[in-house]
Structure 1
Amino acid sequence: MNKLVLTFLVLLMLFVTGCSQETGVGQAAPSTLDQIKERKKLIIGTSPGYPPFEMRDKERNFVGYDIDLGKAIAESLKVDVEFKEFEFSGLIPALQTGDIDMVISGVTIRGDRALSVSFSNPYYTSGQVLMIQKGDKATKSWKDLDQPGKKIGVSQGTTGALLAKQLYKQAEVLDFDGFTSASIALKGGQIDGVVFDEPGIRMYEVMNADSVKGVYELISNENLGIAVRLNDFAMVNWINSFLYSYRGGAAEQASFAKWFQSNDWINTVEQTNG
């Protein structure tokens, strides 16, 4: 290699190195974890209306099992926390555009969603069940409604919606903008059933025992996870480490007992009876 070629290569390497330092080429994008620490605030996206996971109380404060989890994460990070409300279908887009740092909203870990976001390890195991009118004596299983003329309501964008559209071959599956809207349609007789997460239906039945009831035959088993930006491995690793200590700990046990083993909170939250 002659001196002219060698000199050219050295100059080229210096130029590329300088450009990389100026533009950040080749450097890893900052993790959401770093941004949260610098901002000193954690911004969480959630979709109230899913008792007992996320709701609003009568003072319009966010409350529920997922809300307690979000507050515990912020406390562990020693930062403030802000919850932002979205329709469920708008949560992942909000995460992708950077409006929020993470989603804690009863989100089921699914392969198709994992193409758009990254998930933590599961923090709760749930499942889909059917809710029907209180006076329906004929329906004993979700399969009993799979017949022509029957209508099944689902919350658009949820796992229940996807599952119902796969399983119901003869009944008509109708999208609603949320679980509450579908439940109101059921109570009004516009539809024959609602497919949704088992904890949400149990709580809704408690609050509307005179009009609806659950058919607690699990249609599926699902794991709920915290969603963060795609491939933000630092954020995922931190959350997983946090969950190892939080799940089964004193704070989580107190939250579970409050929201799942007691009905004392029901009259403190916004009622969505329609």
Structure 2
Amino acid sequence: MKKMFTALLLILVLVVAGCSSNDGGAGSTEKSTLKNIKDNKKLVIGIAPGYFPFEMKSIDGGFVGYDIDLANAVGEALNTEVEFKQFAFDGLGPALQIGDVDMVIAGMTIRGDRALSISMSNPYYKTGQAIMVPAASKGIKSWEELDVKGNKIAVGIGTTGALLAKSQFKNAEVVDYEDFPLAATTMGSGQADAVVYDEPAIAVWRLEHEGEVHQLEGLLSAENLGIAVKKNDFETIQWLNSFLHSYVDSPEELESRSRWFEESDWLDKVSGE
């Protein structure tokens, strides 16, 4: 009986150990993203170009923007090469989950629903959702005036703006587009009555299309942007939080913020995609 009990106890220990090594939790033996990056000598970042001024395609085919500067700073801190992979915004989470990318730096808002499938760092930028309308509609003062049957509100698919608009607008039709430039262009061609998107991107669009569009006063929400990694990758999250603590408000980050948010001479060096 004693031998049988010992054997059963050993089997139970092995089963528990096996479960804990595969659940992605604190006892997991799966390599963290940091270890994979060091082994591969490469950091693969998922981005969604078209989100001005965070990530954009330059006219020479590369990627530029505030998030690109941040990604390169992460790579420099890890002393590794950085590779960017482009996705539609709603494809970034799945790409992260299957290991196609190591991190996502794409103006992604920290939200509770996202935390169910991925993990996110502390905030690196604070923003909010704004509403842009054609210049001819500048007399409109609030989102309520737009919420009438027959109106179309353009949003970027999978974005926080899309989620917010669909919960806020009860009468107007909220229409998904692949990215912000397409949504804004659709409004410009008269096929939509407004766009809901992050305020920095709308501010840049106004600079590019001066006199053609108008931004409503105030914001629909206040949000924090974070870096996304695989769910429960606590080692990588801890490292990112320590990195961001030293990066945000550093001379390097302030210079990047000034370049992309306060200046506009880069506008003719990026494509509209």
TM-score (norm 2): 0.92
1:145-160 mapped onto 2 (5 Å cutoff): 145-160=146-161
Deviation at 1:174, TM superposition (A): 1.1
Displacement of 1:141 after TM fit? Answer: 1.8
Paired with 1:42 and 1:66, the residues of 2 have a C-alpha distance of: 14
Q: In the alignment, is the contact (CA less than 8 A) between 2:181 and 2:272 conserved in 1?
A: no
Q: In the alignment, what sits opposite 1:221?
A: 222
- Tell me the equivalent position of 1:48: 49
Cα shift readout 1:30-73 (whole Å, capped 9, x = no counterpart) = 10110001111100000000111000110111100000000000
Deviation at 1:137, TM superposition (A): 3.2
Highest Rg: 1 or 2?
A: 1
Q: CA deviation at 1:205?
A: 1.0
- Identity, in percent, stands at 50
Unaligned runs of 5+ in 1: none
Determine the structure 1 residue equivalent to 2:145: 144
Letter in 2 for 1:221: A
Q: Which residue of 1 aligns with 2:165?
A: 164
Matched, 1:260 2:261: yes
Partner residue of 1:249?
250
**Conserved in 1, the CA contact under 8 Å of 2:51 and 2:179?**
no
CA deviations on 1:103-145 (whole Å, 9 max, x unpaired) are 0000001100110100100000010010111222321222210
Letter in 2 for 1:94: A
1:9 corresponds to 2:6: yes
- SS of 1:148 mapped into structure 2: coil
1:54-93 deviation digits (Å, cap 9, x = unpaired): 0011011110000000000000000000010000000000
2:164 alignment partner, SS class:
helix
* Amino acid paired to 2:184: S
1:88 has 2:89 as partner: yes
Deviation at 1:15?
11
Structure 1: how far apart are the matches of 2:28 and 2:47?
A: 32
Partner of 1:126: 127
3-state SS in 2 of match to 1:217: coil
Distance in 1 between the 2:197 and 2:51 partners? Answer: 10
User: What is the one-letter code of the residue matched to 1:139?
Assistant: I
Is 1:34 matched with 2:38? no
**Cα distance, 1:227–1:260 mapped onto 2, change above 3 Å:** same
1:198, 1:216 within 8 Å by CA — same for their partners in 2?
no
- The Cα of 1:271 is off from its aligned counterpart by 3.0
2:234 corresponds in structure 1 to 233
Give the AA of the match of 2:187.
L
Q: Is the 8 A contact 2:47 2:92 kept in 1?
A: yes
Residues 265 and 16 of structure 1, relative CA distance in 2, 3 Å threshold: same
- Which 10-residue stretch deviates more, 172-181 or 223-232? 172-181
User: Cα–Cα, structure 1 residues 14 and 194, in superposed 2: closer, same or farther, change >3 Å?
Assistant: closer
Corresponding residue SS for 1:92:
helix
* Deviates most, 132-141 or 226-235: 132-141
Give the conservation status (yes or no) of the 8 Å contact 2:154–2:175: yes
The 1:94/1:27 distance shift into structure 2, 3 A limit, reads closer
Contact kept in structure 2, 1:146 and 1:171, CA below 8 Å: yes
Q: How much does 1:27 deviate?
A: 4.7
8 Å contact from structure 2 (residues 128, 222) kept in 1: yes
Residues 189 and 16 of structure 1, relative CA distance in 2, 3 Å threshold: same
SS of the residue corresponding to residue 219 of structure 1 reads coil
Supply the AA of the counterpart residue of 1:237.
Q
